[in-house]
Chains A and B, each alone.
Chain A
Amino acid sequence: MKLRTDLALISEWIVEDSHVLDLGCGNGTLLAHLHETRSVTGYGLEIDDENIVYCIQAGVNVIHTDLNQGLSDFSDDSFDYVVMTQALQTIHRPDLLLLEMLRVGREGIVTFPNFGHWGARISLLFGGVMPTSRALPSEWYNTENIHLCSLHDFEKLCHTLDIEVLQRAVVDTTHHTSRSMRLMPNLFGEIAIYRFRSKPVKRIYQRKKK
């Protein structure tokens, strides 16, 4: 089975034999792939009971979890990576969850639909309506995406939270990348992918708190 390009990209960022927590792991595709290709261990967290069955079928350890409740079942520094694909924008408090990700993991990886994409901008500027697109198919009143942001917004939040961005990539909804996307990611990228960690200062502060 061919892996979605954003998942393939993430896989390349993850070092072999690491311990990974996948937030909103869906049917377990990423973890199953990481286990097979990189001997990665770990758990997926998922709230949809049908997806939980798929995960178990795929041999992926999955824990029924509501991400809005935080990650209190996990102790500090218990994972090498905490990954969250296409779920950040559905969370009640993305800022708190990002901090939780870096509490339980050494590094975080997220992907989200970029609200700074030119299509979204045009829709609001000329149409005067909330954008819907391939990456954001739902209407404003029934969408699960309650906290949309652009690449700039995300990076600003990272700065506020003392989070250091280690790597960034953008792709379109077919999960391909192009020259224009690389040059002006916030305008042309449909899906953003980030790898990040706590800034050293923050890490020392967190250790002191313990």
Chain B
Amino acid sequence: MPDILSPDCVGLVTPQSHKFTTPLALNCGRTLPSYELIYETYGTLNKNHSNAVLICHALSSDHHAAGYYSMQDKKPGWWESCIGPGKPIDTNRFFVVSPNNLGGCKGSSGPNTLNPDTNKPYGPDFPIITVRDWVKSQARLGDVLGISQWAAVVGGSLGGMQALQWAIDYPKHLRHCVVIAAASKLTAQNIAFNEVARQAILSDPDFHAGHYYQHNTLPRRGLMLARMLGHITYLSEFAMRKKFGRELREGKINFGFDVEFQVESYLRYQGSSFVDRFDANTYLLMTKALDYFDPASEYKNNLSAAFAKLQAKFLVISFTSDWRFSPARSREIVKALLDNKKEVSYAEIKAHEGHDAFLMPIPRFIQTFQAYMQHIEISNK
């Protein structure tokens, strides 16, 4: 918990929410008649609304991107390293909007919220949401907040995919697009990891076909396994070796199946603490959104063709040790932008932290990100 708030922290924040009553037609063919989005904002919207930055979150995060809810909070928002006064997304300059995506489990409409038709939680009946649906819902949130053009749309991982989709679907409505540790589509290996995670949840006897809320239980083991697997893929081999090595918890092996190595203990902790803060149905939905994302598929699998109408300027960043969203995937995005002679800068940051690097205060990453954001012009006319 923070004893005092650091001057580069946005401070104490309170989420807001908005109820949308215009139906939202979704990619899957279904329609959400009404829905709610919870979001946080940091900084101040300027007079002509030209300084707004949209933050798109990744698989397991939410709208709480920066600051604290109270002085008793143990941890700040998930992107505290990048959002705040004097940080890359400088709240002295920018008005930052950070929503929780539809289908999430932290306050926006999703499987764990009440279905107005039945007055029961949606559960597995919540429609499958795609990246395009998210972008559409975020655009509507922009309308509510009076933002017709974002100074930048920014995201890492699955968030980077949303930023890309923004540039494709609403080319005139953003000036800059920052895509970090992302990909224009998942590889077969990446989908495979998601499938194992889903199977872990789906095969948990406590899953009850997604209706576990009614049974007053949780698919704890399944969600825990899914998270443990995910966590391994978010770190690099080097990072794990450095953090745990082969260190034993009790200093000796016990010839049994209880926790012996420190890395086992760490993974179990990560898994079980995740169960307390995340919903299994949401996890299933989010991994599907990841798997389905492939904007080039509508253009005969030609990413360059998909990017032809983009207008935003781009910053693309990858991390050397990220093997889940490797630099090669980012380069594909960069190449498609270059094919179209779009304005783009690309940095491959040396980092040992794997995919998680985008959440960490790695100096060169922060400098690169900051240099780009500082260059974004904000008109005050």
Is the beta-carbon distance between B345 and A62 smaller than 8 angstroms? yes
Please indicate the chain B residues that have their CB under 8 angstroms from the CB of A59 in the complex. 375
Is the beta-carbon distance between B347 and A49 smaller than 8 angstroms? yes
A118–B190 alpha-carbon span in the complex (Å)? 59
Chain A 22-52 interface mask (CB, 8 Å, partner B; 1/0)? 0000000000000000000101000001101
Q: Can you name the residue of chain A whose Cβ is closest to the Cβ of B373?
A: A56
Q: Does A74 contact B (CB under 8 A)?
A: yes
Q: Does A64 contact B (CB under 8 A)?
A: yes
Is the beta-carbon distance between B375 and A57 smaller than 8 angstroms? yes
Q: Can you name the residue of chain A whose Cβ is closest to the Cβ of B368?
A: A53
Given contacts A49-B349, A49-B350, A73-B331, contact A19 B368 (CB under 8 A): no
Stretch from B57-65, B101-109, B256-264, B336-344 contacting the other chain: B336-344
Chain A 118-154 interface mask (CB, 8 Å, partner B; 1/0)? 0000000000000000000000000000000000000
Chain B 335-376 interface mask (CB, 8 Å, partner A; 1/0)? 100110101111111100000000000001001100110110
A129–B335 alpha-carbon span in the complex (Å)? 45
A59–B348 alpha-carbon span in the complex (Å)? 18
Q: Count of chain B residues with Cβ under 8 Å from any Cβ of A?
A: 22
Q: In the complex, how many angstroms separate the beta carbon of B360 from the nearest chain A beta carbon?
A: 16
Task: Give residues 147-167 of A contacting B (CB, 8 Å).
Answer: none
A22–B229 alpha-carbon span in the complex (Å)? 43
Bin the interface of chain A by size: 20 to 34
Q: In the complex, how many angstroms separate the beta carbon of B243 from the nearest chain A beta carbon?
A: 24
Q: Does B334 contact A (CB under 8 A)?
A: yes
Q: Can you name the residue of chain A whose Cβ is closest to the Cβ of B375?
A: A59
Is the beta-carbon distance between B341 and A52 smaller than 8 angstroms? no
A111–B375 alpha-carbon span in the complex (Å)? 31
Q: Can you name the residue of chain B whose Cβ is closest to the Cβ of A75?
A: B339
Of A50, A64, A75, the contact of B346 (CB 8 Å cutoff): A64
Is the beta-carbon distance between A61 and B345 smaller than 8 angstroms? yes
Chain B 309-339 interface mask (CB, 8 Å, partner A; 1/0)? 0000001000000000000000100110011
Of B335, B338, B345, B364, the contact of A55 (CB 8 Å cutoff): B345
30 of the cross-chain contacts (CB-CB < 8 Å) are: A19-B341, A41-B341, A43-B338, A43-B344, A52-B345, A53-B364, A53-B367, A53-B368, A55-B345, A56-B315, A56-B368, A56-B371, A56-B372, A57-B371, A57-B374, A59-B375, A60-B345, A61-B343, A61-B344, A62-B346, A62-B347, A63-B334, A63-B344, A63-B345, A63-B346, A73-B335, A73-B338, A74-B338, A75-B339, A78-B341
**Which positions in B face A, CB cutoff 8 Å?**
315, 331, 334-335, 338-339, 341, 343-350, 364, 367-368, 371-372, 374-375
| 4 residue pairs, one from A and one from B, having the closest CB atoms | A56-B371, A64-B348, A57-B371, A63-B346
| New contact pairs (20) apart from A49-B348, A49-B368, A64-B346, CB-CB < 8 Å | A41-B341, A43-B344, A49-B347, A49-B350, A52-B368, A53-B364, A53-B367, A53-B368, A53-B371, A56-B368, A57-B371, A60-B345, A61-B345, A62-B347, A63-B346, A64-B348, A73-B338, A75-B339, A78-B338, A78-B341
